[in-house]
């Protein structure tokens, strides 16, 4: 699991998104506005994807704990086999 690295990546993404938003607010950005907005959108999309990925990873870990062993796996053998 890359939890430590992911946190660093999320922090860097946030820093760069803030920097791009600040650039976008400057009056001198006019010739580059579309590029700045495009990059900001791409970084925001990457940040959202990472957040969703981490949520799925957490949910999957919880399901592994439920179906891999224990009473629930015994009570639901068909679902447990499907999960494996």
In this structure, are residues 47 and 15 in contact, taking their beta carbons and an 8 Å threshold?
A: no
Q: For residue range 24-57, list pLDDT tens digits in order.
A: 999 999 999 999 999 999 999 999 999 999 999 9
In this structure, are residues 72 and 83 in contact, taking their beta carbons and an 8 Å threshold?
A: no
pLDDT at 1 over 70: no
DSSP class of residue 69? S
* Other CB atoms within 10 Å distance of the CB of residue 74: 9
Instruction: Report the alpha-carbon distance of residue 26 to residue 8 in Å, rounded.
Output: 28
Instruction: Report the alpha-carbon distance of residue 58 to residue 28 in Å, rounded.
Output: 43
What per-residue confidence (pLDDT) applies to 2? 47
What is the percent of the chain with per-residue pLDDT over 90, rounded to a whole number? Answer: 62
* Predicted model pTM: 0.75
């Amino acid at each position: 699991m890359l939890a430590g690295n992911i946190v660093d990546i999320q922090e860097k993404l946030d820093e760069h998104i803030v920097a791009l938003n600040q650039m976008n607010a400057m009056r001198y950005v006019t010739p580059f506005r579309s590029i700045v907005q495009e990059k900001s959108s791409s970084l925001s999309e990457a940040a959202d994807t990472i957040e969703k990925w981490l949520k799925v990873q957490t949910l999957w870990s919880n399901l592994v704990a439920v179906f891999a062993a224990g009473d629930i796996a015994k009570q639901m053998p068909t679902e447990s086999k499907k999960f494996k």
